[in-house]
Amino acid sequence: MQYKLPLFPEQASTVAGPVDGLYLFLVLITTFFSLLVGLLILFFAIKYKRRPGHEAEQIHGSTLLEIIWTVIPLGISMVIFVWGAALYFHERRPPANALEVYGIGKQWMWKFEHPSGQREINALHVPMGRPVRVTMISQDVIHSFFVPAFRVKQDVLPNRYVDVWFEATKPGTYHLFCSQYCGTKHSAMIGEVTVMKPDDYAAWLVGGKVDGSLASEGEKLFQELGCITCHRADSGARGPNLTGLYGRPVRLNDGRTVIADNNYIRESILNPNIKIVSGFQPIMPTFQGVVSEEGLIQLVKYIETLSLQQGEPLNNRTSPSEIRDNEVPNIQDQMKQQNAAPQPLPGKKP
């Protein structure tokens, strides 16, 4: 049996290289200072070993030296800070054209949903060479999405969408770990991320059996739950028109303005009357306990696609999340064409 002893995980994303670069720099710093201190101690220990006739020379200290070894570490650590912060900033900002995947963590499994409707458990297929943004939520405790080969990690929280993004650079299968302790089978909450070449990925997307895209499932829910009774386009509607809403700033009736992002839409379904759109009455019933996390994701996705149907000029839009799908003329758009686009909503209750 042959054992390998690798020192690095595979580099399979665009940030892996830069992260390893920073790591190596820090390893260098650590080695240098550890050796410096270690060798100095060794040298002093030998040179000034206690022997008869030799006495210690009483030195009180040196302000100059103190300043030197305060300022130099301070300088070095500021370099590390800026370097690390720049990387972090990059890793925290999903590019506008990222492919969207939705993830749900629960004790003790990962569920992923692709916009086109594919569902996976403890597995995630992503294309190579394209940024992927995973929007995640937990159904119970805190989990953490960790793919060492991509050098990305994000805690997955209950009651709140968080996202993480990466751009895979190398086809293959990589570990997906839950890295936040989550109870009994924490170490079994693992999965595989499969990075595929774009063609293979397209084939994979078409190959699976799919009920319907997230948006079309969301539309079904939208009708079943009776949302359309109030959220209509006409002027007499009791709820705000959702078309063109996603990613927009919304003025609330207490004067504040919020961006209608995933979390706002989710919150508005569960606790609709806390942040009310200006000009409307707080009359919507809550859907807490009525819609599952999957259902919420579908509704959010549906509301997002409502904004894409408008065909407004792009420059009127404010949020990058709105622009993203229009700019990318590949798979996702093909998928959209396959899945029936939502029609103007009929004003009747199911």
List 12, 99, 124, 178, residue binding another protein (CB under 8 A): 178
Residue closer to another protein, measured from CB, 90 or 197: 90
**In whole angstroms, how far apart are CA 114 and each of 107, 263, 335?**
21, 19, 11
Between residue 110 and residue 129, which ones bind another protein under the rule CB under 8 A? none
List 104, 124, 134, 276, residue binding another protein (CB under 8 A): 276
For position 290 contacting another protein by CB under 8 A, the verdict is no
Residue 343, burial from CB neighbour count under 10 angstroms (0-12, 13-18, 19+): exposed
Residue closer to another protein, measured from CB, 283 or 314: 283
Least distance (Å) from another protein to the CB of residue 341? 30
| Contact window for another protein (CB under 8 A) among 89-97, 111-119, 215-223, 310-318 | 89-97
For position 225 contacting another protein by CB under 8 A, the verdict is no
For position 259 contacting another protein by CB under 8 A, the verdict is yes
The phi and psi torsions of 159 (rounded to 5 degrees) equal 70, 15
Angle CA 191–195–199, to nearest 5: 140
How far apart are the C-alpha atoms of 126 and 99, rounded to whole Å?
A: 9
For position 284 contacting another protein by CB under 8 A, the verdict is yes
Residue closer to another protein, measured from CB, 127 or 239: 239
For position 179 contacting another protein by CB under 8 A, the verdict is yes
89 token code pair? 């900033």
How far apart are the C-alpha atoms of 350 and 347, rounded to whole Å?
A: 10
For position 206 contacting another protein by CB under 8 A, the verdict is no
Distance of CA 229 to the CA centre of its chain: 34
Between residue 182 and residue 201, which ones bind another protein under the rule CB under 8 A? 182-188, 190
List 122, 173, 177, 309, residue binding another protein (CB under 8 A): 177
For position 274 contacting another protein by CB under 8 A, the verdict is yes
For position 251 contacting another protein by CB under 8 A, the verdict is no
> What torsion do the CA atoms of 39, 42, 48, 49 make, to the nearest 10 degrees?
-170
Residue closer to another protein, measured from CB, 160 or 197: 160
Residue closer to another protein, measured from CB, 117 or 239: 239
For position 211 contacting another protein by CB under 8 A, the verdict is no
Residue closer to another protein, measured from CB, 188 or 341: 188
For position 296 contacting another protein by CB under 8 A, the verdict is no
Residue closer to another protein, measured from CB, 40 or 121: 40
Instruction: Please choose, from the candidates 302, 326, 332, the residue with its C-alpha nearest in 3D space to the C-alpha of residue 313.
Output: 326
Residue closer to another protein, measured from CB, 124 or 178: 178
SS3 158: strand
For position 26 contacting another protein by CB under 8 A, the verdict is yes
Least distance (Å) from another protein to the CB of residue 266? 12
The phi and psi torsions of 135 (rounded to 5 degrees) equal -95, 125
For position 87 contacting another protein by CB under 8 A, the verdict is yes
Least distance (Å) from another protein to the CB of residue 33? 6
How far apart are the C-alpha atoms of 181 and 320, rounded to whole Å?
A: 34
Contacts of 163 (CB under 8 A, 6+ apart): 94, 133, 134, 135, 136, 154
DSSP string, 290-327: TS-HHHHHHHHHHHHHHHHTT---GGG---HHHHHHHH
How far apart are the C-alpha atoms of 85 and 91, rounded to whole Å?
A: 10
The phi and psi torsions of 173 (rounded to 5 degrees) equal -120, 130
For position 328 contacting another protein by CB under 8 A, the verdict is no
For position 44 contacting another protein by CB under 8 A, the verdict is yes
Q: Locate tokens 């040196």: which residue?
A: 62
List 6, 313, 329, 344, residue binding another protein (CB under 8 A): 6
